[in-house]
Amino acid sequence: MIKYIFYFTTLLLSIVSSYAQDFQGMAVYESKTSMADLNNRLDSNKDITPEMRKMIEERVKGMFEKTFTLHFDKVASIYEEEQKLDAPGQDGGPFKMMSSMTGGGGKQYKNVKDKKVMMEKDIFGKEFLVSDSLPVIKWKMENESKKIGNYTCYKATAQMPVDKSNMMNFRPKKGAEEKIKKLQEEGNEEELKKTNFMDMVEMPDFVEVTAWYTPEIPINQGPANYWGLPGLILEVNDGKTNILCSKIVLNTKEKVEIKEPKKGQKVTQEEFAEILMKKMQEMQQMGGPGGGGRMRMGG
């Protein structure tokens, strides 16, 4: 009898181990960023006609509303934006480029065992592979719960290190917008052209986030840079952007290979942020009075 019990236990452990190794799932997330800042700027600009405003809002909508897919197993995940076709008459251009600099673009790989994150980024046709350690998130468990779909979720809050590769995290320095407005009113184009982008904006070190996770899917994964809770994160809000899970499929029949991306020049997040700043300054100079020529990459 002891022999059979030992055999049964060994067989059960083998089945459980096999299930754990083969376990895989897929979650779809809808990301929406508040357009309040954009609307305020459009409201304050008297030169923008209703037709121009509608065109701008339609063109930048893709930057503020995105759909992502998260493929995950027990330790790793791939997070990727759903690719959409441009509307008729729109070839992407600067709007497509800006979208890749606001949290979209290529794949993001997270490995919670190795504490590693890798992101594919593209700036003006040059590919980068941003590789770094997973950000440390000190979650505080809150005494609140709610349903998201069929899953019971629990609330957690944290101060999250800011993703410096996402332009959406920039904010104007105090008095910066007033200074620009004054120069515009004075028609001081020379000073406007000299204005350094980096002198006008800043990026906070941390942002307050609220997450909702479900222990019913016991993996510490989530969308974007979020991870580290005792269950899959189904919703997260940083005060400006809300990411909400709209679909979950567990143990998908077609397995997706979850592996590190390899495409692009390998840089750290800090190095990529410096490259991003430099290219944004070039873009500003090209768009200013007397600006022209092609923007170059490298160097």
Average pLDDT, integer, range 172-177:
68
Query: What are the tens digits of pLDDT across the range 133-146?
Result: 998 899 999 999 99
Q: Is the pLDDT of residue 278 over 60?
A: yes
Sheet holding 206-214, edge to edge: 140-148, 151-161, 206-214, 232-237, 241-250, 25-33, 65-72, 76-81, 108-111, 116-123, 126-133, 265-267
Nearest CA among 297, 140, 112 for reference residue 221: 112
pLDDT more than 70, % of the chain: 63
pTM value surpassing 0.85: no
Give residue 228's identity as a one-letter amino acid code: G
Q: Are 130 and 165 in contact, with CB atoms under 8 Å apart?
A: yes
pLDDT on residue 220: 93
Please state, in angstroms and rounded to a whole number, the distance separating the CA atoms of residues 35 and 152.
30
- At 27, list the tokens: 């979650």
- At 206, list the tokens: 């941390």
Burial degree of 79 (CB within 10 A; 0-12, 13-18, 19+): buried
Domain boundaries in the chain? 22-287
Q: Are 227 and 220 in contact, with CB atoms under 8 Å apart?
A: yes
pLDDT on residue 169: 66
Please state, in angstroms and rounded to a whole number, the distance separating the CA atoms of residues 135 and 139.
12
Query: What are the tens digits of pLDDT across the range 89-116?
Result: 444 445 445 555 555 567 999 999 999 9
pLDDT on residue 106: 79
